Each structure stands twice: as structure tokens, then as C-alpha cells.
Structure 1
Amino acid sequence: MRAGGTLQGPAAPERRSGERFPDDFHLHAGLFSRSTGLSRVPPPLLPDRLSSDAGRSDTPLRASKEPLAMASVTGCSAARSADKHRSFSLLFYRAVRDLKPVWMLEDMRTMEVFYREEDATLKMYSPSEALLYAIVHDHQAYAQFLLTRYPDEALAKPGERFCCCPSSAPHLAMAVRYDRRYILGLILQESHRVPGAPPADRAGWRTPLHLACELCRPESVLMLLGNGASPLAEDLGGLTPLDVTLEKLRDSGSAAGAERRQCLDNLLLYRPRLGRHMRAALDREPELWSPLLGEDTYGYLTGKNPPPLLLRAMQTILQQLRPSGFPDSLHDLPIPPSLKPPGLPGRLGGP
């Protein structure tokens, strides 16, 4: 939790009495542990180069049988090594999925595993890659530990062997996609203190805010905006988050759900901007958009009317709040709860 403005996680993972590794872990641990002195497997041996006379019709093809046998043996060894790595990866994945204790996950993560690559090196899961697993399986304690103990490494770009959301901030995008609101809050809070954290709204990228609008996650929209995500960012197609939200509303028609509408209302609190194409669509089809959005909202978005008084007041208030203190600063506002955005995320520091 948070005390004095900083996240406080476990100082170090500790093994508790009675806790043990999964039964199948011991079958594989000896294969990958540093203590076993696992030697590097050389690259597959190829047969010696055939004689330069091999291409001549009057010269028989000559090749030594011994290198071929060695190549076969080494190829089998490489295949076994790949199988061992896949088995270990599955064990770690399952351990995070089953919400095993932090000490156990850290022991497994830091265990050097053989990767069949050109450099044939021993590697281990990085904090960034482990954080992706924690997000997918909503392992909040492990995510908090990684962000507290390894703030720079946890938010770094994951390795190439991990395929995740194509975004300027993959961990934020993954938390939005899986709707992990608590972990999303931890990542946003820690990103304010990590100078090298990737920007969440890099120009031309599909930002986590775009994704939250597409998936109709109003709580994530509010958390991202409150922590400084730009409502003006455009993706590769030139769409702003407001454009994405309006497209979802248009596609759903008169049956627009409460979540879609709440995404729009949360965006309006931070003065979003219409893209060129969406602005033209609103001007071209008033008979569609005015009933769908309401006259006040439609007039405001098209520039025909000023924003409603309450909306303007909330825009001014929210502009004064520090992103690093969100959402606690919004909870502390001395205004009636009915004026605060519905679905306001809870305090990261507790009740």
C-alpha cells in the first residue's frame, strides 16, 4: 500500500513455514538451477564441407559419417533443451496463475533457464516480463512487489519473445485490456516516479486511453486521464480517444450502454478534441447525433454552445489536481459525492 506518497511492498519475498513448491516443480528445478552448473549446449554441428570435387560427375560424393552422427546427437540435445525450457515456462505461468506466494515466484523467476538462441546463453525472466504475467492473472501482491523492488526494470519494454499489446506503454495497455484496475493504479502511480518509464501517449501510437475507450472501460478512462494521459493524442489513423468513443456510441445506436456513455462523460471532464473526420460527421448528420448525445453535449462538441455550467466547473477543478495524487486527490475534494464522476476508483492508499 501507499504511505507518505510511496508504494510500500514486501521488502523481500520470504518463505513461510508449510509452504512448498508445486509437486512438478522439483522434477524440473535441477535442470535449470544455477547450482547445477548447467553447461552451454553448442550449436548443432554440420557435416564437414564436401570435397571441392563433389560437384564433378567423375568424382564420387564424399562425406564423413562421424560428423553426421554428431549432428544427430546434438540436434536431439537441442530439442530436449527446448522442451525443458517450454516446460519451465509453463510451470512459471501456472504458478502466477495459481497466485502462488511472492517468494516462490521470485525463486522461479530468477532461476537461469537455457534459451536456444544464436548466443546460446542462460537467461531468466525479467521483472518486466513477470509483471505482464501478474497483470494477466491479477496477482496483485506480485505486481506490487515487482513495481516496488524493481521500478525501472518492471516498467521497461519486455523482451522480444513476449508478444503483447502494440502500444507505447505495454503494461498499461495490458492492464486496461484485462481490466485490472488495482494494478493499473499501481503502474500509473509508479510511472510518476520512474524517469525512464515509457510515455503512455507517444504521438502516432495507439495509446492505452484509446484502448480503454474502445473496450468501454470508464474507470480506466478516468484513471488514465487523472494521471496525465492526453485526451488529444492521435493514433496512426488520426483518431483521438473522443473519436473512438463516439464511433462506439454510433455503432450501438439508441441502445448505447451506460458504460459507453460514461466513457464519453469522463472524457468531457478533460476537454477532449474531435478529429477532423468525426467533426465533419457530427456537422453532416445532426439528426443522428443530437438525439444520441443530447442537445447540450451535441452543441458543445460542435462548438455551437458553450459547455454546461457544471461541466465547465468540473473541468476547472480537475485541471488543478496533481496527476501523481490521483485518485486520492479527487476523493478529498470538498464537494458532494453526486458531483464526482460515477465509478470513481478507490483510494490506492486504502479507505
Structure 2
Amino acid sequence: MPWSVRWVGGCGAQSQKQCKKSSFAFYQAVRDLLPVWFLEDMRTMEVFHWEDGGKVSVYSPSEALLYALVHDHQPYARHLLTKFPQSALAVPSQSFSCCQSAPHLAMAVRYNRVRVLFRILKAIQTLPPADRAAHLDRQGCSRVEGGKTALHMACELVRPECLLLLLGHGAAPCLQDSAGNTPLDTLLQQISHMPAANMRAKLLCLDCLFFFVPQDLKFAMKQQLLDNRQQWQDLLGENRFQCLVGLAPPSLFVGAMRVLIRTISPEHFPEALDNLPLPHFLNGMCLGKG
């Protein structure tokens, strides 16, 4: 709840200075992985925001969770998501973030916080369906993030664990960003980068996408694959190439895995994977478990 600036000293300049000092102290405390009780005392007793109209306020659970994500403070993230499952995923204040949307999923992918991502996805599953979809398929600022979803970012940054968790919890694999690219297009662009660094992880992401995208998916890179057939066959392998461009149906293995994975509800993902005959390349991927 905001207080009047007079609460922290009467002078506007002094109040702004106090907010900056408190903010930096909280940032350092989260960075140093201090105990949860200490961080919550700081968050609820100090003032951090200078608001329009001469108001100051504490950090919200949502803003504290973003700090926990950046610094991988897993106990603090777990506390915030357990005690404040809705407000921890709410939109940050305007003084904290220029984009008025909840960026927690994208932040978790950007910093590759697999375990915290897993907990965020579990918290999202408790929300009403419309709110759930809004979080899972949230598109970033068109100016800064190019309208990318968290799935786009997992493909762009080649985060196979994050990608599989997002897909398994219901993130839509066919949405386009501001440039008209699906997550598949974003991944194919990464695969085409030379030299072919991190190719094993890129192909692992592609194999995960195969299990979730529809067979008739329309994607912007398809014509480029057809125009440069030999290059893409060398990069992807014959079977992946044929399937992607529609020259052959998915293999029986891919078809069977699509059916098996779709029997798992998001509420039981990825725990239920333990009961499936998974291929070796998926073993140990879902590090968010536990």
C-alpha cells in the first residue's frame, strides 16, 4: 500500500534518494541469497518505488519474484509462489517495468531458471483457464522483445528443458511474433547460423517441438527449406527434413510419442513422463522436477 512522501521524510528529493537506497539494498540481499524471512521483512517494511503524485510503496510479490529469478534464489521464489500464487505473477508496477504485462515466464527462460520455471508453471495451472492462457502465451513488447512468447525465447536461446516444460504445460506452439515467425521458425533460424554451434541442443529442441506441433503447421521458413534442400537435409537429417516440409508423414515413433504425450494433462507434467517409454534423448531433461 502506498504511503505519502511525508512518511519518509517530507522532502521529495530525500524520499527519492531513500527509495533508491532501499531498492539497491534489497537487490543486494536477494543477490546474496539471504534467508527468506529477512527478505520478506525488507520487502514489507521498506519503501522502494517513487510513484507519480508523491507516493512511495513497497515491492509487490511479483516484483520480488523477478529479483528471485534473476539471482536464482530458489527458496525465495518458492515462498512467493506458494504464499502469493496470484499476486506473485501479477503485472509489475509502471515504475518497475515499462511493459504492462507479466514477464515472469520469459525471464525464467532468459536466465535458464528451469526449477523456478517449473514452479511458476505449476502456479499458473491453478489459475482460471483464461488467465492461464494469458500467462503461457504472453507476447513481449513489440519494440523491445519483438512480440515473442516464452516459447519463442526458449527456441531462440536454445533452452530444451524450458521448451519441453512450456509445451507440456500448454503453451501454444503455433503463435507468431511481430515478424510473423512461429517458435519453429525461430529455432530453424538458430539451426542455420554458422558455424553450427550447439547443434545437438538445437536438434533436441526440434525433436521436442515435433511432439507438440500439428502436422499441417504453416511456418515462414518452409519455402527456404525447399529452396535450399541439400543444405537443410545436411543440417537436419533426411527424416526431419522430409517431415518438416510435408514430403513424408511423421515416423511411427513420432506419431506414437505425440499420442502418448497428449494423454498427460498439464497438471501432471512432467511427473507423468516417468511412466512413459521415453527415448534416451529425453531422459533427464525435465530438471524442474523435484
Q: Same fold (TM over 0.5)?
A: yes
Question: 1:344 maps to what in 2?
Answer: 285
Q: What is the CA–CA distance in structure 2 between the aligned matches of 1:287 and 1:116, rounded to whole Å?
A: 58
* Distance in 2, Cα, partners of 1:251 & 1:239: 16
- Kept after mapping to 2: 8 A contact 1:127/1:146: yes
Distance apart, 1:283 and its partner CA:
1.5
Q: 2:57 aligns with which of 114, 123, 129?
A: 123
- Is residue 185–residue 221 contact of structure 2 (8 Å, CA) maintained in 1? yes
Q: Is 1:180 the equivalent of 2:149?
A: no
Q: For residues 138 and 74 of structure 2, what CA distance do their matches in structure 1 show?
A: 27
SS at match of 2:51: coil
Counterpart pick for 1:237 among 151, 163, 179 = 179
Contact persistence 2:175–2:182 (CA under 8 A): yes
How many angstroms apart in 2 are the aligned matches of 1:258 and 1:114? 44
C-alpha change, 1:128 and 1:252, in structure 2 (3 Å) is same
Change (3 A) 1:223 1:94: same
Shift of residue 261, structure 1, vs aligned partner: 1.2
Does structure 1 residue 143 correspond to structure 2 residue 77?
yes
In the TM superposition, residue 346 of structure 1 has moved relative to its aligned partner by: 3.7
Preserved contact between residue 62 and residue 87 of structure 2 (Cα < 8 Å): yes
Taking only the aligned residue pairs, the percentage that are identical comes to 44
Question: Which one of 13, 26, 31 corresponds to residue 79 of structure 1?
Answer: 13
Deviations 1:168-217 (A, max 9, x none): 65101000000100000000011000224533214794110000100000
The TM-score with structure 1 as length reference comes to 0.73
> What CA distance in whole angstroms lies between the structure 1 residues aligned with 2:262 and 2:229?
31
Amino acid at match of 2:95: R
Show CA shifts across 1:52-94 (max 9, x none).
xxxxxxxxxxxxxxxxxxxxxxxxx322222111111111111
1:139 shift after superposition: 0.7
One of 262, 280, 289 as aligned partner of 2:232 = 289
Q: Which amino acid in structure 1 is aligned with residue 97 of structure 2?
A: C
Kindly provide the CA deviation profile for residues 206-257 of structure 1, in whole angstroms up to 9, marking residues without a partner as x. 1100001000001111110011111111111110000000010011355552
Divergent runs of 4+, >4 A: 166-169, 253-256, 272-276
- The total of aligned residue pairs comes to 276
Alignment of 1:179-198 (within 5 A): 179-195=112-128, 196-197=131-132, 198=134
| AA at the equivalent of 1:200 | L
CA contact (8 A) 1:146 1:154 kept: yes
CA contact (8 A) 1:242 1:274 kept: no
Which amino acid in 1 is paired with 2:77?
A
Q: Whole-Å Cα distance in 2 between the matches of residues 168 and 308 of structure 1?
A: 40
Q: CA deviation at 1:331?
A: 1.6
2:206 is the counterpart of 1:264: yes
Equivalent of residue 243 in structure 2, options 300, 322, 327: 300
List aligned pairs for 1:1-351, cutoff 5 A.
38=7, 41=10, 77-113=11-47, 115-163=49-97, 169-195=102-128, 196-197=131-132, 198-202=134-138, 205-252=147-194, 254=196, 257-271=199-213, 275-333=218-276, 335=277, 337-339=278-280, 341-346=282-287, 348=289, 350=290
The separation in 2 between residues aligned to 1:214 and 1:222, in whole angstroms, is: 14
Structure 2 residue ranges without an equivalent (≥5): none
More helix by share: 2
Structure 1 portions without partners, runs of 5+: 1-33, 42-76
- Structure whose alpha-carbon radius of gyration is higher: 1
Once the two structures are overlaid, the 10-residue window that deviates more, 202-211 or 221-230, is: 202-211
Query: Counterpart of 2:254 in 1: which secondary structure?
Result: helix
Instruction: Give the partner amino acid of 1:315.
Output: R
Question: What amino acid sits opposite 1:113 in the alignment?
Answer: V
The farther-off stretch of 290-299 and 178-187 is 290-299
**Would you say the 8 A contact 1:243–1:274 is kept in 2?**
no
